[in-house]
Amino acid sequence: MAVRELLFAALVLGQGEATPDVATAREAERVARLELEAARSKGFYLLADAASLTLALKLGGVPLTTYKLESIELGLPLASADETVSLDELYSCASPPREPVEIVPGPPPAPSTPGKDEEKKPPVPRSVVLTCEPPLAVHLVSASKVFGLRERLRLFGDRKDERRVRLVVAEADAERLFPSFPSKPLLLFSRVPKAAPESTVEAR
């Protein structure tokens, strides 16, 4: 039997359809193993999936929500751009603290009085830079705000010999992601390919 056919069956783990090859099976096993480790930590973790271009937010293994990504890009300093880099680890990340808006004391409005909008949102960042261990800088940016000149200059001055990953979040989802971004999430990347429809047909 063709190894590929067997392999794609395992790829869609749980659906028992098609068969992945060894590399795919290894990747699927790595992702599942790291996700279990992340789930056991009881905290927030993010799963960036290169095949479906999604960023899933989970808490202790329970799915909370999924954000659509426009791209996941790996960045290397020009001088070492030829290096082969894998993102095989479970990264422990920290996001910068948000600045709260100060409240001015005063009497509350009457409950039934329709008045001006009371909501005073803390400023939503244009992007979030996560500093992770093992060393990795993760830049989460909204698709509508991809690196203006100011941002580029800031990053230019901020440069270290670090590996970077840029996650470009779809504009509508960035509005949801940034206000509630967890402060110390774990992060893992999945490169398990989606089972192509034609492959599934072949397997049948």
Partner 1 sequence: METSDAMGVPTGALDGVEPAAAAAEAKPASPKVDRNRWILSGVGATLLTVLVLVFLSSRLYVYEALAPIEPAPSAGVTPEEAAAAEKEIKDLVSKAKRAQRGVAAFTPGSVYIVIDTAQNKLYVKKGGKVLHEALCSTGSGGLLKDPNDDRQWIFETPRGNFRVIRKAEDPVWTKPDWAFVEEGKSVPDNWSERRDYDTLGEYALYLGDGYMIHGTLYQRYLGQAITHGCVRLGDEDLERVYRMTPAGSQVLIF
Q: Mark 99-118 with x for binding to partner 1 (rule: CB under 8 A) and - for no binding.
A: -xxxx-xxxx--x--x--xx
- Of positions 18, 46, 55, 57, contacts partner 1 by CB under 8 A: 57
Please, are residues 144 and 174 in contact by the beta-carbon 8 Å criterion?
yes
26 interacts with partner 1 by CB under 8 A = yes
Piece of 68-76, 88-96, 128-136 that binds partner 1 (CB under 8 A): 68-76
Within 28-47, the residues that bind partner 1 by CB under 8 A are 28-29, 31-33, 35-36, 39, 42-44
> What gap in Å lies between CA 58 and CA 34, rounded to an integer?
13
> Which of helix, strand or coil describes residue 31?
helix
- Of positions 84, 116, 180, 201, contacts partner 1 by CB under 8 A: 180
156 interacts with partner 1 by CB under 8 A = yes
145 interacts with partner 1 by CB under 8 A = no
154 interacts with partner 1 by CB under 8 A = no
> What gap in Å lies between CA 15 and CA 24, rounded to an integer?
16
Considering only the C-alpha atoms of the chain, give the largest distance between any 2 of them, rounded to a whole number of Å: 77
149 interacts with partner 1 by CB under 8 A = no
> What gap in Å lies between CA 50 and CA 191, rounded to an integer?
5
> What gap in Å lies between CA 159 and CA 171, rounded to an integer?
26
Region of 115 please: left (phi>0), alpha (psi -120 to 50) or beta. beta
204 interacts with partner 1 by CB under 8 A = no
Piece of 26-34, 88-96, 125-133 that binds partner 1 (CB under 8 A): 26-34
